[in-house]
Amino acid sequence: MAIQNAMQAGVAGLRTNSQAVGRISENIANSGTIGYKRSFTQMVTQVVGDSASVRGVDRTDIERGGAIIGTSSATDLAIDGDGFFVVMKDPLNTDESNFFLTRAGSFEVDKDGYMVNSAGYYLAGYGYDDDGSIAGVDRNGFGSLDAVNTKIASLTAEPSTESTIAGNLPSSLTGTGVAQDPFISSMTYYNALGAQEGLTFSWTPSDTVDNLWSMEVTGDDGTVYGTVDVTFADSGPTAGSPLTYVGTPDAGLVAPAAFAVDADGNMTLTIDNAAVPQVLDIALGGVGTYDGITQFDGDYEPQRITVDGTSTAALEKTEIDEQGNLVGVFENGKRLSLYQIPVATVDAPAGLEAETGNAYSLTLASGSTVMNVAGSGAGSIQSGATEASNVDIAQEMTDLIQVQRAYSSNAKIISTSDEMLQEINNLKR
């Protein structure tokens, strides 16, 4: 009967518009929620027999990003472009069901060192190896990901193995017939335990031979390792550069301590400071080159000394770049890559299933996922920022008015149909 069909259509309209009001209410309530994606109800015609009504299908506007807002916390993250952060419910569980996708990047470091967002999800990433590389990871799934933990980051001591010395010695002080005071420079290096030790270099010009300098190497424990005689070229295309090196170990040097210099100015010290002596290579500058010690007229140039190695140091802070690299900055100033935070993309973001806490899980409709390097095939990561909700309050209020009008109209259909049925019932009287 047409009147009954009208009533059923009105009931379906009330139900669907009530569903739409629910979505609008959720959007308005979450308009200030970080990373929230607007949801809405689409009206779809439903045909049963010779009658047509309506039903509601819920959708989420996942692909439209919200405004990026700057914050004062370096661990707050936002994605500028497509993609999602990968998060975990449990930082120790690597099952696929434990992983979600989210745009809510309001992360902070908890008491255990994990980066956790406001919904309680743990940020996931790829850990860097000791050699600073990421190898053997599967970027088409979650299996290679770990919860990002900055607390386990520590910098162990690295003994010094290599050093360079550069600077200018004044040529006018050689061959003067008058003994000159030496020029002193020093170097600090690290032993196997990260403790600092030192060497002193004493450069003395020859008072009898032009362009000849003698450099004596002494340890801070008083050990004299030996002397290097350096002759510099005084003419030709390499004037001012080293011409020859002659090294002589000190007569009082006791093994296993040792001292040697090759013909190209590479000095090797064997330092007796542990059960296994430390070997330190010091480059003075190649023959015929200007990358180390030189001799030109003018003033003495304080020597520039570089040395590798580090002391044991605690993590001071972290930084995150646009490629998602989380870099640890340690107390001794050294920087070390700790994690790479991927940006995950899926074939059909609209097919993701919404979960509690502004997170989404994969479904058959969403398709597979790829863990991209941020900025390559996906959006870049902005540190010190979060993504605001993509809800437009003006749009929601406009939709609310439209839905309210539609709801009232459907209610009117039901009341009108009821009056018509009443009139039919009155015909028999």
Question: What digits encode the pLDDT tens for the residues 153-175?
Answer: 766 778 999 999 999 999 999 99
CB 285 within 8 A of CB 291: yes
The arithmetic mean of pLDDT across residues 375-395, rounded, is 91
Across the chain, mean pLDDT equals: 90
pLDDT above 90 covers a percentage of the chain that reads: 63
Count of beta carbons in the 10 Å neighbourhood of residue 69: 13
Count of beta carbons in the 10 Å neighbourhood of residue 87: 30
DSSP string computed for 393-412: HHHHHHHHHHHHHHHHHHHH
Count of beta carbons in the 10 Å neighbourhood of residue 225: 23
CB 38 within 8 A of CB 60: yes
**Side chain identity, residue 256:** P
- What is the SS3 string spanning 97-132? HHEEEECCCECEECCCCEEECCCCCEEEEEECCCCC
The architecture of the domain spanning 162-307 is Sandwich (2.60)
Best CA proximity match to 225, nearest among 181, 191, 265, 257: 257
Tokens of 256: 């296993």
Banded pLDDT at 63 (limits 50, 70, 90): confident
- The single-letter DSSP state of residue 366 is T
pLDDT in tens, 230-254: 999 999 999 999 999 999 999 999 9
Best CA proximity match to 227, nearest among 288, 269, 274, 165: 269
| pLDDT exceeds 70 at position 217 | yes
Q: Which residues does 291 contact at the CB level (< 8 Å), separation at least 6?
A: 166, 285
Distance CA 162, CA 164 (A): 7
Distance CA 42, CA 40 (A): 7
- The single-letter DSSP state of residue 420 is H
Place of tokens 């031979």: 209
Element (H, E) at 85: strand 85-88
| pLDDT exceeds 60 at position 1 | no
Element (H, E) at 22: helix 2-29
Domain ranges of the chain: 2-63+390-426, 71-151+341-387, 162-307
* 329 compared with 374, residue with greater pLDDT: 374
Would you give the distance in Å from CA 40 to the centre of its chain? 35
Place of tokens 């479904």: 363
User: What's the residue count for the chain?
Assistant: 429
| pLDDT exceeds 60 at position 191 | yes
Tokens of 241: 């550069």
Tokens of 426: 């009155």
Backbone CA torsion sign across 28, 30, 31, 35: negative
CB 54 within 8 A of CB 16: yes
Count of beta carbons in the 10 Å neighbourhood of residue 146: 15
Tokens of 147: 């919860």
Best CA proximity match to 324, nearest among 71, 67, 130, 107: 107
Q: Mark 258-296 as b/e (b = at least 16 C-beta within 10 Å).
A: bbebeeebbbebbbbbeeeebebebbbbbbeeeebbbbb
pLDDT in tens, 90-146: 999 989 999 999 999 999 999 999 999 999 999 999 999 877 888 889 999 999 999
pLDDT value for 390:
85
Best CA proximity match to 329, nearest among 341, 314, 307, 310: 314
What's the CA dihedral at 235, 241, 243, 247 to 10 degrees?
150
| pLDDT exceeds 80 at position 48 | no
Tokens of 75: 């661990």
Distance CA 98, CA 339 (A): 20
Banded pLDDT at 278 (limits 50, 70, 90): very high
CB 157 within 8 A of CB 314: no
